[in-house]
Amino acid sequence: MARSNRPVSRRQAWWLLATALAAFLPLTPQLPLWLSLAAGAAFSWRAALTWWQWRLPPRWLLVLLVVAGTAGVLMQYRTILGRTPGIALLVVFLGLKLLELRTARDAVATALLCYFLVLGQFLFTQTIPTALLAAMTVLITTATLLAASDDRPSPRQQIRRAGLMLGQALPFMLLLFLLFPRVQGPLWGIPQDRFSAVSGVSDTMAPGSIAQLSQSDAIAFRVQFKGEVPPQSQLYWRGPVMPAFDGRSWRVAQTRGAYSEIPYPGIGQPVDYEVTLEPHGKFWLFSLELPASLPPESGLTSDYQPVARQAVRNRMRYAQRAWPEAIAGANETPGILRDALALPKGGNPRTRAISEGWRAQHGNDGAAILAAAEDLFNRQLLIYTLNPPLLGADMVDEFLFDTKRGFCEHFAAAFVFALRAAGVPARVVAGYQGGEVNPVDGFLVVRQYDAHAWTEVWIAGRGWMRVDPTAISAPSRINSNLAAAVPSGEPLPFLARGDLAWLKELRNRLDAVTNGWNQWVLGYNPQRQRDLLASLGMTEPDWRSMTAVLSVLCGAVMLGLTGWILRNRMRVDPALAAWRRFTARLARHGVAWRPWEGPQAFAERAAVQIPAQAQTIREIAELYARLRYGPTPQLPDLAQLKMKIAAFKP
């Protein structure tokens, strides 16, 4: 095509530079510094080329630079595959493409590259600001495409036209977004770098590991309750259960997916809720105690912990039901009970001595030993703090009798140790406790600083019981929140502080918007799509019926747009329209109007052929001629013409 060989004009070169900058700048935080500098140099070079109208660099130099850029990326990442290296490579190409803008074809290629880089931004973040920034980039890139085919309009006009066209594209976007059959990725595997920096409860618990989480106000998950939100002290979000102890840290058991359905009977009033879990890269799902239903694609471990089949790498939403009063493990298997009693051989002699005393006093009465342990924790006046002192080899002894300052993991670890030493099966449970209801949208938000550890104690005849040793010493941690529990003056995550009400309010609002965005935009997955279609009456939506509905709706939008775009196609003069009706009627009676005939000549001919109507025919022709060719057409004449023609029956 002749057009694509047209050289790129100065104005088009400026447009291309602008769109390249818009696509590149948001990516700079992800790129190595040398690459950003190199790209900046290429852009400046382009600007100079355009400004002073220099000659383009020779091809051999560009080839050399491509090789150098690729080698640089390769050296930086040791690969050119994957997310970040791929984007770095695209940035290299973009910078060099700008230096060889010759024809309109190069301009189109550059614009397409910029659309690509917008996708690159989404690989790193998908927040609302990112979306707005991306929308800006798309707008500028579209204006650049417009300028590539016609560079005469002013920037303002180009942007306006691009905005108009994108606006018209919006209905298609919405329809496709909602109805295009979604495929759950990944299609070919995700590079490992995707989840390198997510924090959350891990599968081991050592002193200080949860205290570290307490410094983060990142969101762990959000919960929407079907009914009323249970009281704060009931909100134990059960995560990994850790029965294995090596003297210092606690671990989850290796058994996975032991039960495919709930092994205990439901008791009492159920609680229904829906969790939107942020990706944490691990398998477990958080649930209120005790889970009464399993999310799809998940199972229940032997210690009643729901785990997903695949690590949670994307924000995940699941509905669940809990039985707060359910009794689990009344007939627990001996293997699990043996695990819940295992202790390392030596260490912590003082605690062991006390435990043996309980054992001697109460024998096999687990409930009595538990009461004794709770009493001990009460008497020791332990202090809940985010900055516990470092502990030596006999951690439990040192914590209980010397430092007396600790965080929840110290409490839980010491409590389980004491019970096990007294012969009562017990284990550590990690997860989150509490959360905060956002008054704006009613979602309970659980943040990383709500991370908590507590214990489960097995009592014969009763099964597993939740006991929170932290609550014994610092009940305010459980009944209100972290800020209330720690001594004043300790550093707290910003949002955990209670004294900045207005900031909290603002944050709540922002968070509600973000939550809506997560729920409806980012979290729109195949499941959500099925739910939406089901609510619209499509009970079994498969891709065929979805494609059909999608086609029909897109066709409808397209028709509407076509109508709008082709509106005012040919305004037929109403007088002419009436005249056409008249001539058509006469044509049926053998007097066809010839295109070159004037109205009056035609009327004369018709009058001769249909003498009975001669008078009317002449009047109509006269009126029509006056309307069409007269100096100032009169509206009453038109009305009369229409009336006469309507009444005309040859």
Partner 1 sequence: MPGTLRHRLHEAFVRWALRVRPPEPAPIILTQRRVYVLPTRAGLAYAAALGVILLGAMNYNLSLGHALVFLLAGLGIVAILHTFRNIALVSIRPGRCEPVFAGSSAQFDLVLENQRPDARTSLRLFLDDQAPIEVDIGPHTSTTAALHVPATKRGWLPLSRLTIETTWPLGLVRAWSYAVPDMNCLIYPAPAAKAPPLPWHGESAGGSTRDGNGADDFSGLRKHQEADSPHHVAWKAVARQHDGPLLTKLFSGASAQQLWLEWNDLPAALDTEQRLSILARWMIDAEAAGFAWGLRMPALRLAPDNGPTQLGAGLRALALHGSQ
Q: Give kind and range of the element (H or E) at residue 384.
A: strand 383-384
Q: How far apart are CA 415 and CA 469, in angstroms?
A: 7
184 binds partner 1 (CB under 8 A): yes
Out of 34, 41, 102, 150, the residue judged to bind partner 1 by CB under 8 A: 150
Catalytic residue among 280, 362, 410, 452: 452
Q: How far apart are CA 649 and CA 628, in angstroms?
A: 23
105 binds partner 1 (CB under 8 A): yes
Output DSSP code: residue 499: S
360 binds partner 1 (CB under 8 A): no
Residue 408 designated active-site: yes
CB 252 → partner 1: shortest distance, Å? 27
521 binds partner 1 (CB under 8 A): yes
Specify the residue, 186 or 630, whose C-beta has the smaller distance to partner 1.
Answer: 186
- Residue 533: which residues within 8 A CB-CB, separation 6 or more? 179, 541, 546
173 binds partner 1 (CB under 8 A): yes
Specify the residue, 44 or 168, whose C-beta has the smaller distance to partner 1.
Answer: 168
Residue 55 CB-density burial (10 A; 0-12 exposed, 13-18 middle, 19+ buried)? exposed
Name residues contacting partner 1, limited to 420-479 (CB under 8 A): none
CB 481 → partner 1: shortest distance, Å? 32
Query: What DSSP string runs through 162-175?
Result: HHHHHHHHHHHHHH
531 binds partner 1 (CB under 8 A): no
Specify the residue, 47 or 522, whose C-beta has the smaller distance to partner 1.
Answer: 522
Out of 383, 522, 610, 625, the residue judged to bind partner 1 by CB under 8 A: 522
Q: How far apart are CA 271 and CA 262, in angstroms?
A: 16
Euclidean distance between the first and final Cα of the chain, in Å?
A: 57
CB-hemisphere CA count at 13 Å for 252?
A: 23
Catalytic residue among 151, 408, 450, 511: 408
CB 93 → partner 1: shortest distance, Å? 13
Is the separation of the CB atoms in 16 and 108 below 8 Å? no
- Pick the piece of the chain touching partner 1 (CB under 8 A) from 118-126, 351-359, 412-420, 454-462: 118-126
Is the separation of the CB atoms in 221 and 446 below 8 Å? yes
159 binds partner 1 (CB under 8 A): no
130 binds partner 1 (CB under 8 A): yes
80 binds partner 1 (CB under 8 A): no
Residue 114 designated active-site: no
SS3 (DSSP) at 111: helix
Out of 80, 109, 437, 440, the residue judged to bind partner 1 by CB under 8 A: 109
Q: How far apart are CA 567 and CA 326, in angstroms?
A: 67
- Pick the piece of the chain touching partner 1 (CB under 8 A) from 125-133, 294-302, 392-400, 576-584: 125-133
CB 110 → partner 1: shortest distance, Å? 12
Catalytic residue among 339, 394, 450, 468: 468
Is the separation of the CB atoms in 550 and 176 below 8 Å? yes
Specify the residue, 181 or 650, whose C-beta has the smaller distance to partner 1.
Answer: 181
Is the separation of the CB atoms in 493 and 216 below 8 Å? yes
Out of 122, 401, 494, 543, the residue judged to bind partner 1 by CB under 8 A: 122
Name residues contacting partner 1, limited to 565-604 (CB under 8 A): 565-566, 568-570
Specify the residue, 176 or 584, whose C-beta has the smaller distance to partner 1.
Answer: 176
Q: Which residues of 577-616 are buried (b: 16+ CB within 10 A; e: fewer)?
A: ebbeebbeebeeeebebeeeeebeebbbbbbeebeebeeb
CB 501 → partner 1: shortest distance, Å? 33
30 binds partner 1 (CB under 8 A): no
Q: Give kind and range of the element (H or E) at residue 639.
A: helix 635-647
SS3 (DSSP) at 558: helix
Q: Give kind and range of the element (H or E) at residue 219.
A: strand 219-225
CB 337 → partner 1: shortest distance, Å? 42
* Residue pointed to by tokens 């079994």: 540
Q: How far apart are CA 439 and CA 622, in angstroms?
A: 76
Out of 138, 271, 354, 396, the residue judged to bind partner 1 by CB under 8 A: 138
Out of 188, 334, 502, 631, the residue judged to bind partner 1 by CB under 8 A: 188
Residues that bind partner 1 (CB under 8 A): 1-4, 83, 104-105, 108-109, 112, 115-116, 118-119, 122-123, 126, 130-131, 134, 138, 142, 145-146, 148-150, 161, 165-166, 168-173, 176-177, 180, 182-188, 190, 194, 314, 521-525, 554, 558, 561-562, 565-566, 568-570
| Catalytic residue ranges | 408, 452, 468
